Structure 1
């Protein structure tokens, strides 16, 4: 199926969408209605989302009614929560906006139940009074469900693993329009698929997951002038390789404009940030980071003991909607030669247009995995490489050159959250062959008519395989 539909039919209140409107406790908005734009515009402003209609759901039954309607009328259904992972090919004929699924319940004994429209900040704030914390992303402005179903690599991944590792259960609607409870023992195939497989097999309406006990942490970022980048990165390579699992770290080359909110030492020039999150005794973490503080002059130091509610300060990601692109790859090593090539392509004097180029160290609990099998196929990767730039040809072409420069260490894989599997090429990078085959089988079982647009990649790969 494609996302092209007869628009004229969808804009008539007496047309086929009126049947669906009458079944909803939420609301449906077509192209001619003012609410359509606000509901369909993602956080990634560079991504156009133009479904025939947007369904603002309020209950799981609203989701099921939309799926059943789409199935009976030959339509596809897409889903959008916060829009950080938006891709225009995933909008579907009907785009379900899940912001109304806003439940957040934190249990003092250490777990939470969260609706599909919730961002991490609400969970962090609700858990904090109990000394608890979730395994959120580098930005608390990201949606819980999209992050978790893509695996969910966050600022504590070496210590506690990925967000998917802590999931207890999902409430979902499958492509056949059925509401299901998914656990390790109830529909275990879906439990596998939804932890790393994004939404390829079902629409998640709520998720339950364990929390960790972490009232405070030691961390943040220390910043150096970019002229010292080669020296600091060389030291970071050796230093990060010896860190215990209580630490998660990355470095980032920043080019931030001089604008409100950007600290003066970082504005209008290239700088290097060492990100660091430490979950052990603060004195030990401070002593470890001091080993880097002495390598070169620090121009800004943000690493101190902080409440977990300040976890965003480690990566300092923007929260305002932006027209950016953020391609990424995974590396099996980050050698001296790799560091040299990265600096030649994106360091001082390179002419890089990127706002940020980040290398993140992996391993530890990330590599071991959780208690149950999952669809996250990248435990063996040792580093990730991310480029964030404005959505223009310059940033796109540069990121391709940057990745090509480090192709010797490219694993061939990509995290589903940084490369949604919307075509055959990205599907094969997001999943190994066995996992992709299993996802295809599960998608066909629960969505026999191909209603879920995000699951369409499985059929693309299937068709390609048959043609070969």
Structure 2
């Protein structure tokens, strides 16, 4: 729903102060920029500022402070979790600088997507710590930590950051590195949009022209055999391998769904190996032996085609997501998940995915960051499409799955997986020490709390109970205004 323009806001004055474009409700361009990737979310910001420089961002933040407006940020729209009613939305899509240095690093603006960076890095034999969907923004993904299809080998994307250009909530243009503004550098790597608006990031690339990887699909009749084989196989994998398994209910008649997979229950095993191709093929042999594949796409591939491994949706859709981090994946948990989400269970979820973590991700980087939950062994992700009559069934089924995994659930979640805005949801993204430090930094760099609809809650006001229970946290997520940087789209990592 398009809101009515606020007569007390002098948006003409803001337009005079920025080089970019200020889009008012009802004007051409407003709806397109304000609409998030998740079509289940209806947004209604007071205005959208399409910035073209860090100075534009600063002016927008100062205007918001003078007018008591909360601020949200988006580029590709993958990070918006709920309504932006009354907020000033800073759109960074035109910050499109992308420079690849052949010696092994890149500088990219907040409007650049991973697909572009990978394409420009490929001629130099370089790759980046991308997520499972190259269509998301580099900056938003990286500020959320960035856990992708090579996380066990390369760690979190934020571990490879050299520097950020950022405009903090106080309107100051800053550069954050391990030496300059080290507190800010710590918080921007994993803290999402709580401290400011990142306009550019510099990060190390990796010499990796090709990988051995892809996805293997089998019929759902082999779900139990495949999940149990995958579980055992994971326990012996070296860190050069990153893998996930997914139970899929892909509908017919949807663009992008391969006909052999449409309208049936299938199981997908994803695999990326960064070492010798022959060794990768040898390692993958036990999975190929489980059943005759419907599709076998596992083999050598150019790194720039890494998005084919997960084949996540590119086009916007109305999505629901639920995320759990697991301490372990014993056989009894696999059986329990199959009982509630396997073939013949009428699970409404489009996908139930288990990603193996560990490896390089479990190690603290040389320069500490706000990325938490590195000790989790697996990530469980539920993805559904919010269309009638599935909407209510998705939430009810997610509660059933939550009960099943509860004995192995760490209680944490990853910032880039699902919609974790609001005090309760955000608290699950961080341990107590990290959350306290992020909150302190937010109060230092954003004293007016302009980014209060960001990823870190303010200190709990007197008389307001803190959100502590998972049930209350889920409710808080459902009612929260928004996140402030691009997350992964549905089924991303």
Q: In which range does the TM-score fall when normalised by the shorter chain?
A: over 0.9
1:336 partnered with 2:335 = no
Of residues 246, 254, 277, the one that matches 1:252 is 246
1:188 partnered with 2:187 = no
Partner residue in 1 for 2:435: 436
Could you tell me how far apart the structure 2 residues matched to 1:408 and 1:7 are? Answer: 50
Of residues 173, 176, 181, the one that matches 2:167 is 173
Q: Any idea what the Cα deviations from partners look like across 1:308-339, whole Å, max 9, x if unmatched?
A: 01101111101011111122111011111110
Could you tell me how far apart the structure 1 residues matched to 2:354 and 2:274 are? Answer: 21
Q: Any idea what the Cα deviations from partners look like across 1:106-129, whole Å, max 9, x if unmatched?
A: 000000001011110000001000
Could you tell me how far apart the structure 2 residues matched to 1:463 and 1:421 are? Answer: 21
Q: Answer whether contact 1:193 1:439 (CA < 8 A) is retained.
A: yes
Partner residue in 2 for 1:99: 93
Unmatched runs of 5 consecutive residues or more in structure 1: none
Q: Answer whether contact 2:51 2:90 (CA < 8 A) is retained.
A: yes
1:347 partnered with 2:342 = yes
Q: Answer whether contact 1:354 1:395 (CA < 8 A) is retained.
A: yes
Partner residue in 1 for 2:193: 199
Partner residue in 1 for 2:354: 359
Q: Any idea what the Cα deviations from partners look like across 1:271-294, whole Å, max 9, x if unmatched?
A: 000100000000000011111111
Structure 1 residues 455 and 312 mapped into 2: Cα distance closer, same or farther (>3 Å)? closer
Q: Answer whether contact 2:72 2:454 (CA < 8 A) is retained.
A: no
Give RMSD over aligned pairs.
1.7
Structure 1 residues 176 and 201 mapped into 2: Cα distance closer, same or farther (>3 Å)? same
SS of 1:88's equivalent in the other structure is: coil
What's the CA shift for 1:466? 7.4
Q: Any idea what the Cα deviations from partners look like across 1:328-382, whole Å, max 9, x if unmatched?
A: 1110111111101111111011110111110000100010032211111110000
Say which is worse superposed, 81-90 or 30-39, in terms of deviation: 81-90
Of residues 216, 222, 228, the one that matches 1:222 is 216
Could you tell me how far apart the structure 2 residues matched to 1:6 and 1:437 are? Answer: 38
TM-score by length of 2: 0.90
Could you tell me how far apart the structure 1 residues matched to 2:83 and 2:444 are? Answer: 23
What's the CA shift for 1:89? 4.8
Q: Answer whether contact 1:91 1:453 (CA < 8 A) is retained.
A: no
Partner residue in 2 for 1:462: 460
TM-score by length of 1: 0.95
Partner residue in 2 for 1:130: 124
Partner residue in 1 for 2:383: 388
Aligned length: 460
Could you tell me how far apart the structure 2 residues matched to 1:465 and 1:418 are? Answer: 31
What's the CA shift for 1:235? 0.8
Could you tell me how far apart the structure 1 residues matched to 2:49 and 2:266 are? Answer: 44
Unmatched runs of 5 consecutive residues or more in structure 2: 467-493
Could you tell me how far apart the structure 2 residues matched to 1:208 and 1:372 are? Answer: 15
Could you tell me how far apart the structure 1 residues matched to 2:91 and 2:30 are? Answer: 11
1:54-133 equivalences in 2 (<5 Å)? 54-89=48-83, 93-133=87-127
Partner residue in 1 for 2:488: none
Say which is worse superposed, 220-229 or 257-266, in terms of deviation: 257-266
1:129-168 equivalences in 2 (<5 Å)? 129-168=123-162
Partner residue in 1 for 2:313: 318
SS of 1:253's equivalent in the other structure is: strand
1:369-448 equivalences in 2 (<5 Å)? 369-391=364-386, 392-448=391-447
Say which is worse superposed, 391-400 or 30-39, in terms of deviation: 391-400
Higher RCO, 1 or 2 (CA under 8 Å, sep at least 6)? 2
Q: Answer whether contact 2:102 2:124 (CA < 8 A) is retained.
A: yes
What's the CA shift for 1:75? 1.5
Could you tell me how far apart the structure 2 residues matched to 1:467 and 1:310 are? Answer: 48
SS of 2:231's equivalent in the other structure is: helix
Could you tell me how far apart the structure 2 residues matched to 1:90 and 1:393 are? Answer: 23
Structure 1 residues 434 and 464 mapped into 2: Cα distance closer, same or farther (>3 Å)? farther
Could you tell me how far apart the structure 1 residues matched to 2:226 and 2:418 are? Answer: 30
Could you tell me how far apart the structure 2 residues matched to 1:82 and 1:45 are? Answer: 13
Partner residue in 2 for 1:297: 292
Could you tell me how far apart the structure 2 residues matched to 1:364 and 1:148 are? Answer: 19
